[in-house]
Structure 1
Amino acid sequence: MTSMTAKLLTTAIAVTFAGEALATEWNVSVWGSRRAFTEHVHKLAELVEEKSDGDFTMNISYGGLSNNTENLDGISIGAFEMAQFCAGYHPDKNRAITVLELPFLGVSNLEEEVAVSHAIYDHPAVADEMAQWNAKMVMTSPMPQYNIVGTGEPRDELSEFDGMRVRATGGLGEAFSAVGAVPTSVTSSEAYQAMESGVVDTVAFAQHAHLSFGTINRADWWTANLNPGTVNCPIVVNIDAYEMLSDEEKAIFDESVDEAIDHYLENYGELLQRWDEVLEEKGVEKVTISDEQLAEFKKVAGDPIHQAWIEEMSAQGLPAQELYDLVFTTLEEHRANN
């Protein structure tokens, strides 16, 4: 081999390794299986890979990297670069965003859920609290109002909720507790087994989760309009990993978030349109709660829980009233512009 050939070969190898060094590969921790709830994660991964010509890729793992309730811990230690979690899994770690899980906030659709969530995520108090876990908020996983499936005779009056064992987390659990139910916070992956074994009588989920985790297959009935609230499940990235991105990669990542959310909303909308067909196929009775019962539920489990949250979080040094008010001003602005 001539010295010139050797030099060219060495240069080629160096360029190859340099190219490999420039490639960015992220691990992403989610749970369950691919479903409407994770479609924006897949879309984001698809977009960044496409826009970077394959130099920025994401490996999405369903439970292989962490337990769902430990995803925030994994982010904090850099075990993976991006993850999804739900505020109700560890409210003490993400106190500020639990305002979004308060019952009866009046959010009426997924677009409003996105607007309200992202307004809260952008608040400095949220950024500061998440920074304690080395986490940066990226986007929400918007879900419709939760409703419950149950076995046996339908429960369409509040008096029938007394003693009812329900899978519900966060503010939803508090709402059901206020009317005498007994909430349990088993994870979504454990909900079917809890229902099958009789640990719970009912399960509160959004529609996609009733499908994905099979609880609809155990159900005799579903409440069509209870709508007590929903849970809030952000996508976060490890701050160090984000800061290590090149300026171009950051731009690609940031500009792809809205596109990923738009894809999520379109996909989830199709699921909601099919929901009545799903109920009919599975022989699940649709139960409608009367306006009087709903008003009573809101009276008992709405304002009192809201005020208790404001007082508790204010005592812990959070700008609770400011966060709470931001929810409603954002709703007003969103509705005025749409």
Structure 2
Amino acid sequence: MSVVTGSPPGHIISDGGVEPWMACVTDALGDEIEFNYFPAGQLVALRELQSGLENGIANAVPIPVGYASDRLPLNNVSMLPGLGTSAQQIIGSYSRLIREDEAIAAEFAEINAVPIWAMGFPPYQIISTGPAMRTLADFSGRVIRSAGGTMTLSIEALGAAPAEVTVADLYVSMERGVVDSTISGLQSVKPYNLQEIMRSVSTNGAFGTFTNVFAINADFWAELPENVQTVMSDCGLAIEQSIAARMDAESGSLAQEFAALGIDVFEFDADAAAEINGRLAQVLDGWVERLEGRGLPARAVLDHYQAIMAGQ
């Protein structure tokens, strides 16, 4: 079974998700399953993971939802700002949405994918090579890297200019001033060495998140014995719990580590947070309007997701 990722070694998606999932499955099944593992874009580049899975180049990949927004538009609900305060809440809610919502399930069926486990970062923060962006006015005119999808809408709502830059090019783009900031999870800073060039980072923002769904090609899945499918699904649920707990625990320690490097680690004050979050709230309505205009049930999906999240 070929398992392909696009993330660098040591990234949370790999060493907190894909690799322990394979270990869990192997522990349960022994010689009944064998993995051929191609990490870090060796076989398929990060932005091509979804198409690589659909076309059968890979049997299993973590689909970056933000990079597949053209094929998974409704799934981008999981990346909207202001929804969820922790990885545990975000992952738990998105996992339930995937399992319960017919429109979400239909998107995965359309790309010939069977979702096994979901992953979402704690709420994204603003990371900058310049001074701390402490107020809404500080965002005006800034060029902020976007991973696409709902993140672009969030950046525009804040009065900044989004620039779609691949994560592989992010360090160079920030170093050269092509972009001066990025919205990212703290867990993604060190794998891309951003701590070397960033000067400030927020800790209490609610700028959305980035989600991935580890999925298996549906044709390959259909050929697996039922006991293997059960083990893979059970291991997926276990990974959701462990990766969420790990990321939430790491958020505080990473902030302390960055502060020790002389980086300005800051919190938005109550007034600034209210003003920023007010702007970001507009993104939800804009997202719904845009997708409803394409005939997609965005309002129903958002309502379902928010209802699940309220019960988490």
Compute the TM-score of the two structures, normalised by the length of structure 1.
0.86
| Preserved CA contact (<8 Å) 2:174 2:180 | yes
- Asked if 1:49 is matched to 2:15, the reply is no
Aligned twin of 1:75: 53
Deviation at 1:211, TM superposition (A): 1.4
- Give runs of aligned pairs for residues 6-25 of structure 1, distance below 5 A: 25=1
Q: Distance in 1 between matches of 2:199 and 2:252?
A: 21
State which of 119, 126, 139 in structure 1 corresponds to 2:104: 126
Compute the TM-score of the two structures, normalised by the length of structure 2.
0.93
Aligned twin of 2:268: 289
- Give runs of aligned pairs for residues 20-31 of structure 1, distance below 5 A: 25-31=1-7
- Asked if 1:310 is matched to 2:288, the reply is yes
State which of 232, 243, 247 in structure 2 corresponds to 1:253: 232
State which of 161, 165, 182 in structure 1 corresponds to 2:161: 182
State which of 83, 95, 99 in structure 1 corresponds to 2:77: 99
Greater shift after overlay, 216-225 or 311-320?
A: 311-320
Corresponding residue pairs, total:
308
State which of 201, 204, 219 in structure 1 corresponds to 2:183: 204
Deviation at 1:181, TM superposition (A): 0.6
| Preserved CA contact (<8 Å) 1:119 1:326 | no
- Asked if 1:227 is matched to 2:206, the reply is yes
State which of 121, 142, 152 in structure 1 corresponds to 2:130: 152
Bigger radius of gyration, 1 or 2? 1
Deviation at 1:32, TM superposition (A): 2.0
Structure 1 residues 323, 270: CA separation in 2 closer, same or farther (over 3 Å shift)? same
Deviation at 1:305, TM superposition (A): 1.9
Structure 1 residues 113, 90: CA separation in 2 closer, same or farther (over 3 Å shift)? same
Matched residue type, 2:90: E
Structure 2 unaligned blocks of 5 or more: none
Deviation at 1:284, TM superposition (A): 0.6
Q: Which runs of 4+ in 1 moved over 3 A?
A: none
| Preserved CA contact (<8 Å) 2:143 2:181 | yes
| Preserved CA contact (<8 Å) 1:27 1:60 | yes
- Deviation track 1:121-171 (CA, whole Å, cap 9, x = no partner) reads 121212212222111212111210111221232221111211101112322
- SS at 2:76 equivalent: helix
Greater shift after overlay, 164-173 or 141-150?
A: 164-173
Structure 1 residues 310, 280: CA separation in 2 closer, same or farther (over 3 Å shift)? closer
Deviation at 1:40, TM superposition (A): 1.7
Q: Distance in 2 between matches of 1:145 and 1:267?
A: 14
- SS at 2:133 equivalent: coil
Q: Which has the higher contact order (CA 8 A, sep 6+)?
A: 2
Q: Distance in 2 between matches of 1:212 and 1:291?
A: 31
Structure 1 residues 277, 288: CA separation in 2 closer, same or farther (over 3 Å shift)? closer
State which of 62, 67, 75 in structure 2 corresponds to 1:89: 67
| Preserved CA contact (<8 Å) 2:122 2:247 | no
- Give runs of aligned pairs for residues 240-279 of structure 1, distance below 5 A: 240-279=219-258
Q: Distance in 2 between matches of 1:120 and 1:221?
A: 34
Matched residue type, 1:84: P
Aligned twin of 1:64: 42
- SS at 1:141 equivalent: strand
Q: Distance in 1 between matches of 2:157 and 2:204?
A: 18
